[in-house]
Amino acid sequence: MQTQSVEVILNRALANHDLSEAEGVILLQQKEAGAIAAIRQTANHLRQHQSGETVTYVINRNINFTNICEQHCSFCAFRRDEDADGAYWLDEAKILEKTTDAVARNATEICMQGGLHPGAKLNGGSLPYYLRLVRTIKETFPHLHLHAFSPQEVEFIARQDGLSFSEVIDAFQEAGVGSMPGTAAEVLDDAVRRVICPEKINTKVWLEVVRTAHRLGMPTTSTLLSGHIETPEQQMRHLGLLRSLQQQSLEQGDRGLVNSLCCPSLDKKRLNLCVAGSDAISPFWQMLCC
């Protein structure tokens, strides 16, 4: 009966129907080798149809300008208190040195994020501090793509300076930020968030910041931090929210989510069946999640 259900669901996917969250849960719950092989085969067929044999990659360096953070996400081994061993700030010279080295290694993109530090201010403002980070890179390397500052960081800056999300994102775009990392999504389910990242923005705010970025013409990525306390239903809810967001953004003519990143233990082939409209699915790479 269960195998029959899987077959029906896979045929619907092959016929280009959007799977429901309940159907996705059935796929995620499969443990039998034959069913898993059928899911992978279907996902691979759909991937082949969408992308052929083309595999793309970006040579990228992550620069995390500080690890001092006001929050205490339970999964985070990166953050430090200001006076703790290993706490650091990268000054402009160090950021430029890391960027220069990355360019010498053929990097075309810098991903920049950092801890949330209320002391990260320039002339009394948080936004000017972040804009100086952008300028540090873009004035020397104007052609580098800057993938920078998560929805959580946008909310942090807006809160610190009394600005709207659009004002922050607008200023980033004008300074040369090319896209927004979709980190801080973790699992878009507030019951999970209250346990693993209780101080972070909630689901509604994450979606609002990303929707605002799309509306302003800034593409974003999205992440799913899976394999801890979340259930298959919560994983599917997350993917359902991303799919709705993407459909809405594409309908409005925005580029929307250009990549969906799965970190780390949800089967990426099953994920591929459930998220429609994202240009690419990426494997996990080690990066800061704020």
Binding site residues, ligand SF4, CB under 6 A: 69, 71-73, 76, 78-79, 115-116, 152, 197, 289-290
Q: CB 78 → ligand SF4: shortest distance, Å?
A: 5
Residue number with CB closer to ligand SF4 (193 or 238):
193
Opening angle at CA 31, ends 29 and 33, nearest 5: 140
Contact 125, 158 (CB under 8 A): no
Q: CB 117 → ligand SF4: shortest distance, Å?
A: 9
**260: part of which helix (H) or strand (E)?**
strand 257-264
Residue number with CB closer to ligand SF4 (81 or 97):
81
Opening angle at CA 122, ends 117 and 125, nearest 5: 75
Q: CB 254 → ligand SF4: shortest distance, Å?
A: 26
Question: Strands 60-64 and 109-113, how do they pair?
Answer: parallel
Contact 102, 140 (CB under 8 A): no
Q: CB 247 → ligand SF4: shortest distance, Å?
A: 29
* Residue nearest to ligand SF4 as judged by C-beta position: 290
Q: Which two tokens stand for residue 281?
A: 């699915």
Q: CB 133 → ligand SF4: shortest distance, Å?
A: 16
Residue number with CB closer to ligand SF4 (49 or 72):
72
Residue number with CB closer to ligand SF4 (263 or 276):
263
Residue number with CB closer to ligand SF4 (79 or 243):
79
Give buried/exposed letters for 173-202 (b at 16+ CB in 10 A, else e).
bebbbbbbbbbbbbbbbeebbeebbeebbe
Q: CB 221 → ligand SF4: shortest distance, Å?
A: 16
Can you tell me whether residue 145 is helix, strand or coil?
A: strand
Contact 238, 185 (CB under 8 A): yes
Residues facing 221 on adjacent strands: 259
Residue number with CB closer to ligand SF4 (6 or 154):
154
